[in-house]
Structure 1
Amino acid sequence: MIATLEAELGFALFIREHGKLTATPEAHYLLEEAEAILARIERTKQTLSRIGSLETGRLRVACHPAASGLFMPRLLAEFLAGKSGVDLSLIMRSSDIIEDLVASQQFDIGFAETPVRRASVNQVDFDLECVCVLPAADPLAQRMEITPGDLDGKPMAVLFEDHTTATQTEAAFVSAGARFNKRLELRTSLPGLEFVAEGFCYMVCDMITAYSHVFLGSDQRGLVIRRFRPRISNSVSILRPAYAGSARLEQAFSSYLTDAIQEMQAKTEAHLMKGPIAGIESTTADAD
């Protein structure tokens, strides 16, 4: 075997003297290179194994404001537990910008309000029901459902004028013949929770904000959620680049996010079906 290798290389690896083999400098160099190559192969095998078990890699997530404060960070922390080799990039942007970031493959996963479909983005849509947020001590908190008639002329907090939930909410009041009193206009629903807690207004809120800050019990302001009728829809989507292959890590988190959204819908629906329960403590207990 040594002679064959020397013939292929074109030079001697050993000096043969008195029945002994003495390695040449070239042989020592070849040994070092071979050991380095074998070490790199072993490291590559270990890296591929970690990739296969989702323990290493990079995840780039762009998230819209409603989910960026609590829902998405909490979810990512759970998903990345025990994955010390995974690097994360998480940014908050408006939904239209997130769509462009995903389409241009700058981010692996986007979580945003549902955009118009386009060829460069794969999306999975979720139709979420908005809920009415109000203080637990408010008499309306004893109702199973809140309607425009219940809020006739009462001060309301809504998102900016051209947002779909704002237009749907105002249209519901008009259709019911109730007076829509827009007292507070917001870019996101989260600040509105403080105003509702202080009795400044009522709010028809997206499910993610309500679930994160009221239903999960992180909110200590004594707020409750009730079903609002007619139904106000807020559709959100998981977005992924259409023209790029997805790594196993991205696929796994997309599935994890899907499960979390469906769990949120199920828990919120179960809570709304139970009817009036006063106080944040009861709300927290339902979430456990």
Structure 2
Amino acid sequence: MAIFKGAGVAIVTPMYDNGEVNYDKLGELLEEQIAGGTDAIIICGTTGESSTLTHEEHLDVIRYAIDRVAKRIPVIAGTGSNCTQTAIYLSQEAEKAGADALLLVTPYYNKATQKGLKLHYTRIAQAVSLPIILYNVPSRTGCNLLPETIADLVTDVENIVGVKEATGNISQVAKLMSLVGDKVELYSGNDDQIVPIMSLGGCGVISVLSNVAPRQTHDIVAAYLAGDVEKSCRLQLQAIDLIGALFCEVNPIPVKTALNLMGKGAGPLRGPLCEMEEANAERLKKAMKAYGIL
């Protein structure tokens, strides 16, 4: 059984103006996501600015989300690192806190070989009992987890069960599913490719768009799962301009800006991320208005 089917939100980490984590706002956002039909919470991923959280903050945010969600929907903790031992530590602590699953990004900067990636993920998986979703986003990490490597991992390691696929390369996704489609839970990591990836056997999306449009993102996946591909495609295409605006600068700059425009109080970004360029912010506002969320 899949960890979840549907739209999981890669949720932001709200901040106060002084840069500290705003747990009150995080609680509000979590409640709004659940009320909006979101199928899972992915906490401390890229969108949650995990790379600029201290280890203590990282784990505190995970623990807070788990406690606040209280098993109403799955909470998947982002515990990846470019250090295998650090990823093991974060993963073990998330398991102790009650996470339902782990999301493990490929090691960034190190540029590990495929052999090294297998060893990295196997060692983490052996240190915990939770199901694991691999996260492949080479545009950010400089490291591509190849289909053959994923196939070996999901075949050989019992609790490696899924992949968040954000290469943008549909041919690579098709290759993966041809190798091991019956053994892997496939999630789109790109909001503009939900329908294409589901057509190859995907079971949902881990979404940035869900931060600002939880019900609409849920409905894209729900329609597809219900067999209404035409509706799913229509909803996907209606969101394309907004999705483009949400990625016109590096994530999570635009989505935090969007939440602030909506009065959600997501707060500032941590350096080295900075506020949006004025022209891009205007593009985002226009797209949000056209989509009916501003």
Higher RCO structure, 1 or 2 (CA under 8 Å, sep 6+): 1
Indicate the structure with greater helix content. 2
Indicate the structure with greater strand content. 1
TM superposition score category, shorter chain reference: under 0.3
The structure number with the bigger radius of gyration is 1
TM-score, normalising length: structure 1: 0.27
TM-score, normalising length: structure 2: 0.27
